[in-house]
Structure 1
Amino acid sequence: MADIRDIEVIAPNFKRRLSGVTSTIIQLVPVQRTLGQKIAVLGPGLPPTLPSVRFRDLMHLWKPPAGRRCRIWHARRNVEMLPAIILRDLLRMKIRIVFTSASQRRHSVWSKFLIRRMDAVIATSGKTAAYLQVPNTVILHGIDTERFHPPAYKLQAKTAVGLDPSKRFVGCFGRVRRQKGTDLFVDSMIALLPGRPDWCAVVAGRATGPHLAFEVELKERVAKAGLADRILFVGEHTNIPDWYRALDLFVAPQRWEGFGLTPLEAMATGVPVVATDVGAFSELISEGSEETGIVVPANDLKAMADGAAAFMDDLPRLAAAAANGLARTSKSFAIEGEARAIGEIYEHLMR
């Protein structure tokens, strides 16, 4: 438990279930602390290893921390913006409110009302920024390059997760559901693998509740195609960086995405990406002279299959894109860069 008197930034998390927002907080806060930002979390659903404050500590927000004009309240949901507005405007507590938006759709009237009352707004991508009707700063998410890194030996990386080291693997990671495009990945592999005996496919992720029948249908589709031994459903794993390191190609087939870290995670492990044009994917992947992957239209099965085939059938291109992706993430998408950019906004407001 952190001492509120030493805390300059509060990162609330008012949702118990794990989500992309919660994952962002979990990954970002330790890096922010390492960079000297005096930040603590507030709310349920977070690891006890993170520095935290209690709700009763909020009574101290009438007095700013030593050497500062105010504290920062960094909200990422409507439910976290509203109490901050009450604390600042009704109770006159010494806080400034930062809001990070990852939404790529028109905001509701209620959301617009809240966002207009923020002291600073961060957009996680250029597409997100286009839906905001207030001044904002685009700060793309970063990746933990210490956690996600290439293997020393690719064959050993495959063996470590139980894959055949004599084969090349293309993977699709994330929740198994239609929104995530898992069916598009499976159908593209059903089309591609029969003519490419050196390649196999991996689906890593979990289906929940109403999506269980969807997963069963996909497995039946694979079995009917005679590819049950080459399109593998390996379930959910906590050691997901190890699975990335075992891949030779990654496909992000989402029909919709708020931001989407999987292409960065793949590129950071030296794996080229074929991704749909959703979320921030087109801002993460380079298709020019320093190609790291291919961006295809969302919900376009043929384009996805063609993009994957372009790499599967051209191993020099695959290797070049792998090296480019590793260099791009190290240079432009390390999570420390994201934390520093956010820290600059904090500093501006606290001065």
Structure 2
Amino acid sequence: MPNRPDIRDVEVIAPNFKRRLSGVTSTIIQLVPVQNKLGQKVATLGPGLPDTLPKLRWRDLLSLWTPPPGRKARIWHARRNVEMLAGLVMRDLLRMKLKLVFTSASQRRHTGWTKCLISRMDAVIATSAKTASYLEVPCTVIMHGIDTERFSPPADKAAAKAALGLDPARKYVGCFGRIRHQKGTDLFVDAMIALLPERPDWSAIIAGRATAKHVEFEAELKEKVRDAGLDKRILFVGEHTNIHEWYRTLDLFVAPQRWEGFGLTPLEAMATGVPVVATDVGAFSELIVTGEGETGLLIPADSLSSIAQAAASLMNDTARRNAVGSQGRRHIASRFTIENEARRVAAVYRRTLEA
């Protein structure tokens, strides 16, 4: 049964006006339970969300003229243009008791329409310093966090591999996320075709879904793998809700994106104690430590040779992989927990309501 909260008890509404799973949807799914655990009284609204989350009905919006007890307004926390627009209609046209907060993860120049919407928000959050540089309004930088209990190293990596039907004796390099050109899945495949023949103890895992628009792209990659005779060693395992268990099978993670808004996968890998090779896009340069205390390697975007060279350097050095993986876990636990993200977001809510 859906989790239906009483609207009178809800102080923050997190709308999700997109049915298909996306990075924004994933953020809501992970953050809202932590916010409620910390006493923030957050409910969601819209499709594409699990029934375990507190979820309002559309008719509950009719109650937004009345604020919750002890408050002058509720927070409407938008993450997309359409959600900002809905908040503006309710606040400015219908005069509902709302304060509007917007989180931006985009790293490109905004259209005039988006700028107009953002300028009408009561508060703006940027998910990275790079994102903040594209905003023309004051904002608070709050980087995404990770559930470090869910994403954690396995007690026994060989057992973790066996539990998912993998060979416990093999080492695995992974690339997780949606399968498409923007995500660089083809670069990962080409790098593995070049590297695996000389490393018979390694295999590769590609976890994620290709949407209808990108099915042909995925099919071409699978055909390329078959032609290389590596279809038993470069595995397309599809999309999984237990993705944290797949991270626990990995000995190396590669994030080969050509473009990214933020990008959670390096955080998830590091939290699981897996060393990372990532392109310098999105927030990756703000997430990954290079040099002393390194948690991974940063490489230029859209460079097959750079991906292959960086991956090979870690595949060939077990001691370095282990050290980088351990340092990554400590880095995430100290700076990027989801509880810290939730507390910092709550501080923005508080300041906005008090303004």
Find 1:111's aligned residue among 114, 128, 138.
114
Q: Which moved more, 1:188-197 or 1:54-63?
A: 54-63
What residue number does 1:286 align with? 289
Find 1:189's aligned residue among 177, 188, 192.
192
Asked whether 1:198 is paired with 2:228, we answer no
What residue number does 1:313 align with? 316
Find 1:176's aligned residue among 156, 159, 179.
179
User: Aligned ranges for residues 28-67 of structure 1 at < 5 Å?
Assistant: 28-67=31-70
Q: CA separation in 2, counterparts of 1:330 and 1:89? A: 41
Q: CA separation in 2, counterparts of 1:239 and 1:45? A: 17
What residue number does 2:343 align with? 340
What residue number does 1:259 align with? 262
Q: Which runs of 5+ in 2 are unaligned?
A: none
Find 1:297's aligned residue among 295, 300, 306.
300
Q: CA separation in 1, counterparts of 2:68 and 2:223? A: 60
Deviation at 1:203, TM superposition (A): 1.2
- Cα distance 1:64–1:238, how it changes in 2: closer, same or farther (>3 A)? closer
SS in 1 for 2:103: strand
Question: Structure 1: which 4+ aligned runs deviate by more than 3 Å?
Answer: none
Asked whether 1:21 is paired with 2:24, we answer yes
TM-score under structure 1 normalisation? 0.97
User: Aligned ranges for residues 134-283 of structure 1 at < 5 Å?
Assistant: 134-283=137-286
User: Match of 2:148, as an amino acid?
Assistant: T
User: Match of 1:294, as an amino acid?
Assistant: L
Q: CA separation in 2, counterparts of 1:41 and 1:288? A: 41
Asked whether 1:122 is paired with 2:116, we answer no
Deviations 1:9-61 (A, max 9, x none): 11111122222111111111110000000111112222222112223222332
Deviations 1:95-114 (A, max 9, x none): 11000011111111111111
What residue number does 2:83 align with? 80
Q: CA separation in 2, counterparts of 1:111 and 1:347? A: 25
Deviations 1:166-217 (A, max 9, x none): 1111111112211111110011111111222221111112223232222222
Q: CA separation in 2, counterparts of 1:90 and 1:217? A: 50
Deviations 1:144-170 (A, max 9, x none): 111111100111111111111111111
Q: CA separation in 1, counterparts of 2:131 and 2:15? A: 21
- Cα distance 1:59–1:205, how it changes in 2: closer, same or farther (>3 A)? closer
SS in 2 for 1:350: helix
Q: CA separation in 2, counterparts of 1:67 and 1:79? A: 29
Q: CA separation in 2, counterparts of 1:87 and 1:202? A: 46
Q: CA separation in 1, counterparts of 2:281 and 2:220? A: 25
Find 2:93's aligned residue among 86, 90, 93.
90
Asked whether 1:70 is paired with 2:73, we answer yes
Q: CA separation in 2, counterparts of 1:47 and 1:340? A: 23
Deviation at 1:87, TM superposition (A): 1.8
Find 2:104's aligned residue among 92, 101, 106.
101
User: Match of 1:154, as an amino acid?
Assistant: K
User: Match of 1:124, as an amino acid?
Assistant: T
Asked whether 1:331 is paired with 2:334, we answer yes
Q: CA separation in 2, counterparts of 1:195 and 1:17? A: 40
User: Match of 2:248, as an amino acid?
Assistant: R
Q: CA separation in 1, counterparts of 2:19 and 2:211? A: 17
SS in 1 for 2:64: helix
Q: CA separation in 1, counterparts of 2:80 and 2:92? A: 18
Q: CA separation in 2, counterparts of 1:46 and 1:339? A: 19
Q: Which moved more, 1:213-222 or 1:317-326?
A: 213-222
SS in 1 for 2:254: strand
Q: CA separation in 2, counterparts of 1:86 and 1:39? A: 21
Find 2:12's aligned residue among 6, 9, 32.
9
